[in-house]
A and B are shown apart, each in its own frame.
Chain A
Amino acid sequence: MASQEMEQLVRREYKQGFVTDIESDTMPPGLDENTIAFISHKKGEPEWMLEWRLDAYRQWLKMTSPSWAHLDYPPIDYQAISYYSAPKKPEDRPQSLDEVDPKLLETYEKLGIPLHERAALAGVAVDAVFDSVSVTTTFKEKLSEAGVIFCSISEAIRNYPELVKQYMGTVVPKGDNYFAALNSAVFTDGSFVFVPEGVTCPMELSTYFRINAANTGQFERTLIICEKQAQVSYLEGCTAPMRDENQLHAAVVELVALEDAYIKYSTVQNWYPGDEDGKGGIYNFVTKRGDCRGDRSRISWTQVETGSAITWKYPSCVLRGKDSVGEFYSVAVTNNRQQADTGTKMIHIGENTRSTIVSKGISAGRANQSYRGLVKIGPRAKNARNFTQCDSLLIGDQCGAHTFPYQEIGNSTATVEHEATTSKIGEDQLFYCQSRGISEEDAVNMIVNGFCKDVFQELPMEFAVEAEALLNVTLEGAVG
Chain B
Amino acid sequence: MLEVKDLHVTVEGSEILKGLSLTVNAGEVHAIMGPNGAGKSTLSAVIAGKDGYEVTSGSITFEGRDVLEMEIEERAQAGLLLGFQYPVEIPGVKNIYLLKAALNAQRVARGEGEIPAPEFMKLVKEKINFMKMDSSFLQRAVNEGFSGGEKKRNEILQMLVLQPKLAMLDEIDSGLDIDAMKVVAQGVNSLRDPERGILIVTHYQRLLDHVEPDVVHVLVDGRIVKSGDKDLALELESRGYDWLVEESAA
Contact = CB atoms under 8 A, between A and B. Distances in A.
Given A435-B76, A451-B91, 19 more contacts: A429-B90, A432-B84, A432-B90, A433-B98, A433-B101, A434-B49, A435-B48, A435-B50, A436-B98, A437-B73, A437-B106, A437-B109, A439-B73, A442-B105, A446-B97, A450-B90, A450-B91, A450-B93, A453-B91
B101 A432 contact: no
Interface string B103-129: 001100100000000000000000000
Interface residues of B, number: 29
Between A429, A436, A451, A453, the greatest number of chain B beta carbons within 10 A of the residue's beta carbon is seen for A436
Q: Which 9 A-B pairs have the closest CB atoms?
A: A450-B92, A437-B76, A450-B93, A453-B92, A436-B102, A434-B72, A437-B106, A437-B105, A428-B88
Interface of A: 426-429, 431-440, 442, 446-447, 449-454
29 contacts: A426-B88, A428-B88, A429-B90, A432-B87, A432-B90, A433-B102, A434-B71, A434-B76, A435-B72, A435-B76, A435-B82, A436-B81, A436-B106, A437-B162, A438-B102, A440-B73, A442-B105, A446-B93, A446-B98, A447-B93, A449-B92, A449-B93, A450-B90, A450-B91, A450-B93, A450-B141, A451-B91, A452-B92, A453-B92
B124 to A, nearest CB: 14
A435 B81 contact: yes
A324 B71 CA distance: 54
B51 interface: yes
A436 B50 contact: no
Contacts of B91: 450-451, 453
A446 B51 contact: no
Contacts of B97: 446
A434 B88 contact: no
B68 to A, nearest CB: 15
B75 A438 contact: no
B163 to A, nearest CB: 12
B67 to A, nearest CB: 13
Given A426-B88, A434-B73, A446-B98, A439 B93 contact: no
Interface in B32-71: 48-51, 71
Main secondary structure of the interface of A (DSSP, over half): helix
A433 B50 CA distance: 12
Contacts of B51: 427, 431
Nearest to B83: A435
A438 B101 contact: yes
Contact of A431 (B50, B102, B162): B50
Given A449-B93, A450-B141, A437 B88 contact: no
B105 A439 contact: yes
Nearest to A423: B91
Contacts of B109: 437
A435 B49 contact: yes
Given A431-B50, A446-B98, A436 B88 contact: no
B202 interface: no
Between A437, A439, A449, A450, the greatest number of chain B beta carbons within 10 A of the residue's beta carbon is seen for A437
Nearest to B91: A450
Nearest to A436: B102
Contacts of A451: 91-92
Between A432, A453, A454, the greatest number of chain B beta carbons within 10 A of the residue's beta carbon is seen for A432
B73 A447 contact: no
Nearest to B106: A437
B205 interface: no
Contacts of B141: 450
Contacts of A434: 49, 71-73, 76
Between A434, A449, A454, the greatest number of chain B beta carbons within 10 A of the residue's beta carbon is seen for A434
Nearest to B50: A431
